[in-house]
Amino acid sequence: MQQLDNFKKSILVFSLLILSLQWSFSQKYSNEFLSIGLSARAQAMGNSFVASVDDVTAGFWNPAALASIDMTNGIQIGAQHAEWFGGIGKYDYIGFAMPFDNNKRALGLSMIRFGIDDIPNTLSLYEDDGSVNYDNIKPFSAADYAFLFSYAQKVHTDGGELFLGGNVKVVHRSIGPFAKSWGFGLDASVKYHIGKWKFGALLKDISNTFNAWTFNFTEDEKVVLDLTDNTIPIKSLEVTRPQITLAAARKFDFGKVGLTAELDMTMFMDGKRNTLISSYPFSFDPTIGFEADYKKFVFLRAGINNVQEDSDLGGERFWTMQPNMGVGLKLYKLRLDYAFTDIGDNANGTYSHVISMVLDLDFKYLKKVGQKQKSN
């Protein structure tokens, strides 16, 4: 009985994957995993982070901000881990940033993976005589990867600080041995500081990001797909349209307590979306976030995003929004962040625990520590 239950689960998981495979090549949008957001700090603030970002994750949020980070004596490293649907989906990130030209310019690299592992391939479950052979089940992974190569530089201006930056983006998506794609695109951004105000703008996929898919099914697998009424995909091309985010943030000081508030507005250019301001061909999605700190040691964060219109069983329309919250702790050169958020969308209502960290590697400090240990 247990073996039969496992068989049913295998069929269900694989069938869902095939359906999602077909949907992904007929959907209106592509590379949506890059809209999830990055870092527990940003996600706790409702992804309102384009203006206030001041760490290595700027490679994702606003590459121009990399030149605003104080990395005079070393480099900065960031990492994140999150799980979705009870550990079925995993969302991971690692990145680093380094300065050059007397800290006036910076380079960064961000690597992102969002995937589901150990999916059972049941296409070869049956033998030619119709018997079930569980040894034929082979696991595979369905994963999306993004590699962001970032550049930023500081521009001297009167009365404020201006930073310019951009990304060269490489996207790789893989669904086991069945389907693979490669995509390439460009991002551009700007950040401006004046007094306690920070402004940012991020233009993603300014060249359109193209994902070219190829498929590889054996003849036996094609027969099974045909018998189960599954469409066999052919070569296809996905296009990610440009989108622009405008952001403004302000810092308030109350003695030992600080408060940062940020408002972002993202404009999508790929057609009508379910956002607060929804039209064709442009849709507008606002987000708002707050970060309070005590002596820049302990941080409390909250934010709202995914404002959407929904309907009940009676057809009555109403508005929903996604609340997010989190905390952070900074210990000298290390900052640890936690967020409780829905890394998918507020439609599924499945909240996840997101953990991330940012570490400053101060080479001069490490050298002093090493010299001190030798002298002892």
Alpha-carbon gap, residue 142 to 84, rounded angstroms = 14
DSSP labels, 85-124: TTTTEEEEEEEEEEEETTTTEEEEEEEEEEEEEEEEE-TT
How much is the mean pLDDT over the chain? Answer: 83
Examine the pLDDT at 135 and tell me if it is beyond 60. yes
Predicted confidence band of residue 140 (pLDDT cuts 50, 70, 90): confident
Alpha-carbon gap, residue 62 to 56, rounded angstroms = 10
Close Cβ partners of 206 (under 8 Å, ≥ 6 residues apart): 185, 186, 187, 188, 242
The type of residue at 291 is E
Examine the pLDDT at 19 and tell me if it is beyond 80. no
How large a percentage of the chain has pLDDT more than 70?
81
Highest mean pLDDT, choosing among 151-160, 249-258, 300-309:
249-258
Compute the C-alpha angle 92/114/87, nearest 5°: 80
Q: What value does the mean pLDDT take over residues 248-274?
A: 90
Examine the pLDDT at 346 and tell me if it is beyond 50. no
- Can you give the pLDDT at residue 348? 53
Peptide bond into 281 cis (omega under 30): yes
Sign of the alpha-carbon dihedral angle for 195, 43, 145, 111:
positive
Predicted confidence band of residue 25 (pLDDT cuts 50, 70, 90): very low
Q: Are 53 and 159 in contact (CB under 8 A)?
A: no
Tokens at 348, concatenated: 């599924």
Helical residues (DSSP H) of 176-246, grouped into ranges? 219-227
Residue 279 or residue 283, greater confidence: 283
Q: What value does the mean pLDDT take over residues 121-145?
A: 75
Alpha-carbon gap, residue 78 to 132, rounded angstroms = 47
Q: Are 328 and 308 in contact (CB under 8 A)?
A: no
- Can you give the pLDDT at residue 339? 96
- Residue with the two structure tokens 């972002």: 264
Q: pLDDT tens-digit profile of 224-241?
A: 677 666 666 666 778 888
Examine the pLDDT at 258 and tell me if it is beyond 70. yes
Least confident of 81-85, 147-151, 276-280, 341-345: 341-345
**Other Cβ atoms within 10 Å of 376 Cβ, number:** 5
Give me the architecture of the 2-375 domain, per CATH. Answer: Beta Barrel (2.40)
- Can you give the pLDDT at residue 351? 79
Q: Specify burial of residue 333 (Cβ count, 10 A radius: 0-12, 13-18, 19+).
A: middle
- Can you give the pLDDT at residue 316? 82
- Can you give the pLDDT at residue 126? 65
Q: What value does the mean pLDDT take over residues 309-321?
A: 80
Residue 203 or residue 32, greater confidence: 203
- Can you give the pLDDT at residue 326? 97
Q: pLDDT tens-digit profile of 33-59?
A: 888 889 999 999 999 999 999 999 999
Using CA atoms, how far residue 336 sits from 162, 300, 314, 329, in Å, is 29, 12, 45, 5
Give the DSSP H or E segment for 17: helix 2-24
**Residue 183: closest CA among 344, 342, 23, 24:** 24
- Can you give the pLDDT at residue 207? 83
Examine the pLDDT at 4 and tell me if it is beyond 60. no
- Can you give the pLDDT at residue 374? 66
Examine the pLDDT at 180 and tell me if it is beyond 70. yes
- Can you give the pLDDT at residue 368? 63
- Residue ranges per structural domain of the chain: 2-375
- Can you give the pLDDT at residue 29? 56
- Can you give the pLDDT at residue 286? 93
Q: What value does the mean pLDDT take over residues 143-150?
A: 95
Q: Are 250 and 260 in contact (CB under 8 A)?
A: yes
The type of residue at 197 is W
Examine the pLDDT at 262 and tell me if it is beyond 70. yes
- Can you give the pLDDT at residue 106? 95
- Can you give the pLDDT at residue 372? 64
- Can you give the pLDDT at residue 197? 96
101: left (phi over 0), alpha (psi -120 to 50) or beta: left
Q: pLDDT tens-digit profile of 66-103?
A: 999 988 778 999 999 998 777 788 999 999 999 998 88
Tokens at 185, concatenated: 């695109």
Q: Are 322 and 64 in contact (CB under 8 A)?
A: no
